[in-house]
Structure 1
Amino acid sequence: MGKFGDRFFQTRGILFLLLIYISIGAVVTLGVWDQVAAKEPAAGNKGAHLQSVSVDSDTDGLVVQLGLEGPLSYRVWSTPSPSKVIIDLHNTVVGTGVQGFALDDVLAKRVRITQYPNYSRVVVDLAHSVPTPIHEVQGNTLMVYINRNYRQGYETLVAPGVRYGQFRQGGEAGQVLVNYLRVSPRSRASIRPVLAKGGAGGLETVDSMAKAHDAIAAVNGNFFAGNGKPLGFLMIDGEIAGYPIYNRSAFGITATGQVLIDQVDAVGYFQWADREPITISGVNRVRRTDDLILYTPEYGKTTGTNHFGLEVVVEQGVVIACSEEGNSLIPPQGFVLSAHGNSRELLSDIAVGDPVTAHWELRPDWIEMGVVHAVGAGPRLVKDGKIAINGVEERFQSDVLYGRAPRTGFGVTETGEIVLVTVNGRRGAVSVGMTLRELAELMITLGAVDAINLDGGGSATLVVRDRVLNLPSDGRERPVGSAILVLAD
């Protein structure tokens, strides 16, 4: 197209947030909306005729073309709410047959043309506000360029070494609103996960958890069940609160503040009497087809399984029960082996009174490596500065892998700075959300060399100083099972 400038980022000073909420959706006004000065008519101007109006669209934006005959005096300006670009043609008459029309574009809805006593007006109704249009005259045609690719926002200090930023970004799919936090490795701030309700189980909003711990800021954490139990790896102060599943990606923080991002799994085996060790499928997760799962007391009081399996209950190294009823009680000083499908044969000969032992470990062994806090979710987004989405390997469903949704991400830069990001979505034209690939690109843009996806959708929440600064897609904060806090040490 040739007339669209490079994407830009307008840095603001200490402005904290410019949000104008309108009905259910929110319209965010960022940037400066300047009115373009009119071109004055030449002496003796007797007016012009508007002979045609057309709009071309491509990945860069829209080109509004106005065919005119006669001396031209015009003004191009725009409004953020309602969002529109307005072209006033002074001393101009709308030609016969020239009328408005609808547009099939995510950026623009329709073109309206109105004749007034001393001028004509062409209005392009937009789905969301855009930067000030560029315009020029080519022969008898007025060209107005409406850019769909832009970035406008600001970044501000909220605590020593902790910065908050917000921007809106246009693209081919529509507009997205992004909120993020930067935590310097040289700051006294620390990152730690917390469970809802002080670890007692259940659900709680991110804002509530942040207030309870007097946090500077917070985002939502990993995936969770309806009762708040983590669905995946969660370690707090060296204690495992949720076990890895499907070798999914996680981030870990050591006692010295080093950040690790890797795939982490729980691997192990059980041994019956003097027989060869038998590998288990997983630890403390939902049992699926042909799985052999080890359940320990950290999982809960019972296994929560159905009756389509075989379970062996072990207490203090001895089998105390074998059951096909499911949902076995987990002994405080023992464990339960739960098998389904083809794995049932591995337990079929075990009897009450038999000696059985079990062993499991993290791989890689983050406990041995000094990790004290860890949050698993996934899939991975960025590795060594390049997009590295491994969602199929980590067994995520297609809607997570390929859909467009609200997102939360965690990343670390080459200098060790931590980046926490939320992307608003499901908010109509205000913010359409992102795909995982777009989130990966965003993390790289923000400087991350390694990054993972966290729980998103209606869970995506970012809080700073007890204020929710993103736009949760449910219209309000969703209670979640865990949060990631930024604390002032």
Structure 2
Amino acid sequence: MARDRRQTTAGRSVLTVLTAFGVLAGAALAGAAPAGAVPLGRRVAPGVTYRQFDIEEAAGRAHAHLLTVDLNNPHVRLDLLYPGSVAARATVSNLADSAGAVAGVNGDFFNISETQHPGVEATGATVGPAIAGGQVLKAAVPKAQRFGPSLPPGTTTTDVLGVGTDGRARLDRLTLSGSVGTPEGEFPLKGLNQYALPQNSVGAFTSRWGSVSRERATCGTDTDRAGACSEDTYEVKVRGGEVVSASDTPGSGSIPADTTVLVGREQGAQQLRQLSAGDEVTVTHDLVAATAKVPYRFAIGGYPVLRGGRPLSGLDDNTSAVRTVVGFADDGHRMLLLALDGAAAYRTGMTIAEEADLMDGLGASDAFNLDGGGSSEMVTRDTGAGSVTVRNHPSGGSERPVPNGIGVFSS
């Protein structure tokens, strides 16, 4: 019965989309789009098209901004937008302009505040794994430490949308595989540039982390993000394969490219206390894909809402919000990047269930939800322009700095 209701919703959304395509073919809907919005179906670059349209959903009318990207075009690619370090933030427009992207949307959920741990600095780092330009940036935080709405049943913080070296988009899971080798033996590495570590574990921080304090990594528990910060912590700096310093508390500041900082909590802290200056230490880490047989050039965290043309079971059908979602069709060779408008007239947005139905109706076989609300944003560059233009109204009234996004690049 629930599936029948979703099919009806999808049909209604698609009909409204087609109608809106006709209305908007000549000009943007009066008062609906921000200054500089482009007409329906305008080419951003070869293989990249931008359009906008209205959708009627249960909570009211929403306005969508859609990028269609042809990954079969050899001059088009997707990659991660990020400000040069994991624990840093910038607006989507700045991220896109700095990277030379012709278009982009915001990305993963992130550690935006620390009201539950007074005095502890929010890192700004994302929840899920991240790969940029084929290089691993970070792994996923424990599920209980996730920021954002509740995950649908069967999903996890390791879920990603990525594009492989074969140029094909996929939904996958990326889990950390790593170890720390010491004179006393080897133990597993349980974190890589993460704002939260599992209890009783050791995590690694590299130059990709940035200069933000590493203290947040030892706060919360495996069942409660608001759990107290650990009172048993230890930090070791490893340079050139040797221990060079140690501290009882996690530190801050930029990490040199030749240095790895190991942070331990509880049992992990006790393991690190066995090390002394001059001890040889080997740290290895990588992200392992659950399904892909080719390396990923790009991957970003979030959670799936549509697989093989079917919405996931248990999707929220009650809470409407401004949202960002990406999907793909044609066996992963055609991308759909969609951000809702946050203008007052459209701020009710849509539910996650409606989002999945909409992407299904637009032809996506698979879809992946990203951060929404005040983070939802889409930018594109006009032909000949030196910078991008924000195409939707951010619901907070201005662009929110975010830790990452998806960039569309054209050669």
- Please report the TM-score for the alignment, with normalisation by the length of structure 2: 0.71
Aligned to 1:166: 52
| Deviation string, structure 1 residues 376-429 (Cα, Å, up to 9, x no partner) | 2211222222223799xxxxxxxx99743221111111342101011235x555
Aligned ranges 1:311-330 → 2 under 5 Å: 311-327=235-251, 330=255
Q: Secondary structure at the match of 1:444?
A: helix
Per the TM alignment, residue 447 of structure 1 is displaced from its structure 2 partner at its CA by: 1.6
Aligned to 2:341: 424
Asked if the contact 1:381/1:390 (under 8 Å) is kept, the reply is no
Aligned to 1:381: 305
Asked if the contact 2:141/2:196 (under 8 Å) is kept, the reply is no
Asked if the contact 1:457/1:473 (under 8 Å) is kept, the reply is yes
Q: Secondary structure at the match of 1:298?
A: coil
Match of 2:169 among 243, 252, 259: 259
Aligned ranges 1:265-304 → 2 under 5 Å: 265-275=175-185, 277-288=186-197, 290=199, 291-301=201-211, 304=214
> Does residue 236 in structure 1 map to residue 132 in structure 2?
yes
Larger Rg: 1
Gaps of 5+ in 2: 1-10, 113-122, 143-156, 217-229, 383-387
Asked if the contact 1:462/1:469 (under 8 Å) is kept, the reply is yes
Per the TM alignment, residue 242 of structure 1 is displaced from its structure 2 partner at its CA by: 3.8
Aligned to 1:105: none
Aligned to 2:397: 475
Aligned to 1:454: 370
Q: CA RMSD in A?
A: 3.6
| Deviation string, structure 1 residues 40-60 (Cα, Å, up to 9, x no partner) | xxxxxxxxxxxxxxxxxxxxx
Q: Secondary structure at the match of 1:264?
A: strand
Per the TM alignment, residue 347 of structure 1 is displaced from its structure 2 partner at its CA by: 3.2
Q: Compare relative contact order (CA 8 Å, sep 6+) and give the higher one, 1 or 2.
A: 2
Per the TM alignment, residue 173 of structure 1 is displaced from its structure 2 partner at its CA by: 2.2
| Deviation string, structure 1 residues 143-180 (Cα, Å, up to 9, x no partner) | xxxxxxxxxx9645444432223222223222222111
Q: Secondary structure at the match of 2:359?
A: helix
Per the TM alignment, residue 473 of structure 1 is displaced from its structure 2 partner at its CA by: 0.2
2:261 aligned partner, one-letter code:
V
Aligned to 1:149: none
2:379 aligned partner, one-letter code:
V
Per the TM alignment, residue 338 of structure 1 is displaced from its structure 2 partner at its CA by: 1.5
Aligned to 1:95: none
Aligned to 2:261: 336
Per the TM alignment, residue 217 of structure 1 is displaced from its structure 2 partner at its CA by: 2.4
Distance 1:283 1:202 in 2: 16
Asked if the contact 1:458/1:473 (under 8 Å) is kept, the reply is yes
Aligned to 1:369: 294
Per the TM alignment, residue 243 of structure 1 is displaced from its structure 2 partner at its CA by: 3.7
Per the TM alignment, residue 461 of structure 1 is displaced from its structure 2 partner at its CA by: 0.9
Seen in structure 2, the aligned counterparts of structure 1 residues 342 and 407 have a Cα distance that, compared at 3 Å, is same
Per the TM alignment, residue 235 of structure 1 is displaced from its structure 2 partner at its CA by: 2.4
Identity, % of aligned positions: 28
Distance 1:199 1:314 in 2: 20
> Does residue 404 in structure 1 map to residue 320 in structure 2?
yes
Asked if the contact 2:86/2:138 (under 8 Å) is kept, the reply is no
Distance 2:88 2:247 in 1: 29
Per the TM alignment, residue 305 of structure 1 is displaced from its structure 2 partner at its CA by: 1.5
Asked if the contact 2:128/2:159 (under 8 Å) is kept, the reply is no
Distance 1:301 1:259 in 2: 32
Asked if the contact 1:164/1:182 (under 8 Å) is kept, the reply is yes
1:221 aligned partner, one-letter code:
G
Distance 1:385 1:454 in 2: 18
2:403 aligned partner, one-letter code:
G
- Structure 1 window deviating more from structure 2 (416-425 vs 325-334): it is 325-334
- Please report the TM-score for the alignment, with normalisation by the length of structure 1: 0.61
Seen in structure 2, the aligned counterparts of structure 1 residues 471 and 256 have a Cα distance that, compared at 3 Å, is same
Seen in structure 2, the aligned counterparts of structure 1 residues 16 and 263 have a Cα distance that, compared at 3 Å, is farther
Seen in structure 2, the aligned counterparts of structure 1 residues 353 and 486 have a Cα distance that, compared at 3 Å, is closer
